[in-house]
Structure 1
Amino acid sequence: MSNQIYRLTSLAHGGGCGCKIAPSVLQDILSGMPAATPYANLLVGAETSDDAAVWDLDGQTSIIATTDFFMPMVDDPYIFGRIAATNAISDIYAMGGTPIFALAIVGMPIDKMDPADIRAILAGGVSLCTEAGIPVAGGHSIDCPEPVYGLAVIGTCPTAQIKRNSVARPGDRLILTKSLGVGIYSAAIKKDELDADAYEEMIASTTLLNRIGSTLGANPAVHAMTDVTGFGILGHALEMARGAGVTVRLDLGALPFLREAERLLQAGFVTGASHRNWKSYGHDVRLPGGTEDWRRHLLTDPQTSGGLLIAVDPSSADGILETIRDAGYPGAAIIGTVEAGAPLVEVT
C-alpha cells in the first residue's frame, strides 16, 4: 500500500495524549482495584496518580517503571515515533530518575498501512531513544484496528532522590518547563490549518526530552515533580494538590503558551479531550469570574510530551528556573504557588 493514499491521523479516532481516558472515568475504573500494600519495597504505586511505579531494591537504589502509548497526532510516521518515545521516557525523568532501556509497544492496522510507514514509526522511536542514551531492547506487536505506538521504559534513581507528585509544600513556587497548547495544534493539524512554522514549533517541543528531571532529582530544593500530559495543566496540577492536600494557585498571565495557541482556540480548534477533562475535574477548579470558554480550554488542553511541573522551595525558585532555561528549555516559567488549603486548583 502506498503511503500517499492515506493520512496517518485519519486512521485513528484521536491522537497523542488526547486519547487518554477522562480522569473521572479512569478514577471510576480503578476504584475497585486493591491497593498494593503488602509490598514494602513498592515505594510508589497507583495511589497518588504518580507518573511511574518505583521499587526500592536495597535502600540505596530504586527501579522506576512506566509505560505510555497512543495513536498518531501527526501524519509523518517517523515524527510520530519520536514524539511517542519522548512522551514515554518523560515519566522516568518526572520521578527524578535516569532511563536505562525501553521496550516497544506496537499495534498497527496491517491491512491499512504501508509496512514502510510502520518501520518509520519504529525507527523514529529508536532514534529518540538513542538521543536519550538507551536501547530499545525488544517489545511486542499486534494487528490492531488503529495505529498505536509507545514504550515501556525502565529507569533507576537513588532512592533518596525519588520525586513524587504528592509532596508539594505550602509556600512552594511552581515551575513549568514547556509551553502549553499541543492539543490545540493537533486539532488544527487534523483540519490542515496549522502552518509550517507552528508545526515546527510543536515538533520541537514534543521531541524535547525532559532530561532536566534527572538533574532536578538531585536537588533537595525540588520537592515535587510531575509531567503535564493528557489531563492538561489543570488536571495535573490538581493531582499534585490532591496528593499533597494543598491548594495550587496558577497565575494565568504567567503560563507559557505556544505562539498560535490562543488564536487557534478562538477560531474553534479544541479537542474532545479538553471538554472531557473539564467535565471530570471542573468542580475542583476555581476560575476568575467571566472566564471565556476559550481561555478555559487553554487550561484543559491535553498535552502530548508536555513539560515538567515542579514544586520548589521559594528561596531557590529563581536559581532553579535559570538552571532549567540554561539546560535548553527557554519557555520555562514560574507559573504559580502552593498554599495551605483544600485540595483544589485556583486560577488568578
Structure 2
Amino acid sequence: MAVTAKDVAEACGVSRITVNRALSGNENVKPETREKILKKAQEMGYVPNLIARSLVNGKSKMIGIVISDIKNLYFSEIVDAITRQARARGYMVCTCTHDSDCQEEKRLIEMMKGYCVDGMILNCVNRGGEFKDWLDKLNMKYVILGYQLLPESYTVGVNENKSVKDVVRFLKAHGYNKQVFVVPPLYGEDGRINIPHYQRASGFQEEAKKQGCDYHILYGNDTNEQALEFLKKNTGEKPVFLCTGEMFAIPMQKFLKKNGYRAPKDYGLMTYDRLMYRFWNEEAIAAVDNHVDQIGTSVANAVIDLIEEKEIPMNIEVPYDLEEGTSL
C-alpha cells in the first residue's frame, strides 16, 4: 500500500496537519520538526496526492496549455519556454493539442478545469464573443497566445499588423518595389478565418498600397507553383517574396532552386521566424524574428501573475526584429 501522510505523522509522533504544513512549506512549523518530517517522508517513500491537496487548498500549482499542435517548431519552442519559466516560478505544465478542432479544444479546456489547473494558456481555434462568454463561465484564469486575438481577454504576442507594415518598408528600402506576399488559405474548411495570417495579409496590402509598391498576394495550398509561374511571367524589376512562415519559405526556396531560380539572384525572399533553417537550409533567410522564447516566457509570467492575483496589462505586446539574411 502507498504511504500516507497519516503514516508519516505516526512515525514522527506529530499530527497529520503538521505533516501537511511541513511538506507544503508552511512557516508555522519549527525548522527542526520540518527537517525531521521531510527526512522521514523521504525514507518511507511518501508521495503527496497533489490532486487531493489542490481540492483542499484550491491550488494545484499546475498550468494547462491547450495549443493547435507541437509539430510546428514555433509552438514547440514556445511550450519549451513556458515550461522553463513555469518551473522557475514553482509551477508545472500540462500540454494538450486540439489539432485546430473546435470541439476538441473545448473538451480539452473542460478537462483542464476538471483536473484543477490554476490557469490556462490557450492558442484558440474558436473565436468571437460566444466563445469568450463560454470561457468566462468556467471561472478560470487564462491568457490567449496571440496579441489581441480574443477581444477583452488577456493576450500575449506580436502585433502582426504592425510588424508586416515594417517589413514592407524594410523591403522597399532594400530596393524591392515589387512585393509578393505568400500565405496559406485564409479560411479553413469550416469557414473560420485564420486571424494571425489575415492580420499579416491585410497589413501587407494596406502598407504596400501606401508605399506605392507593385504588390501581389499568393494564397492557397499551391503557393510554390504559383511563385514559379509568377517568376516565369515576371518582367522588369526583381520581385521579393514575403512568406508568412518558415514552413512555406524553405520549401519554396528549394522548389524554385530546382526549377532554375535562385535567391537573391532572381528574386528576394523573406519570412517570419527563423527556427527551422538550421535543420533544413545552410543559408539564413532574411526574417522577422518574433522572439519566440520571449513570447513563451511572457505568457507564462502573465498567467502566473493572474493566478497570484497580480495586475497585468490586458494586452502584452512582444517586440520583434527584422533580421538580414543571404536571401535579399
- TM-score tier (shorter): under 0.3
User: Larger C-alpha radius of gyration, 1 or 2?
Assistant: 2
TM-score (normalised: structure 1): 0.24
Q: Which has the higher contact order (CA 8 A, sep 6+)?
A: 1
- Structure 1 or 2: more helix by fraction: 2
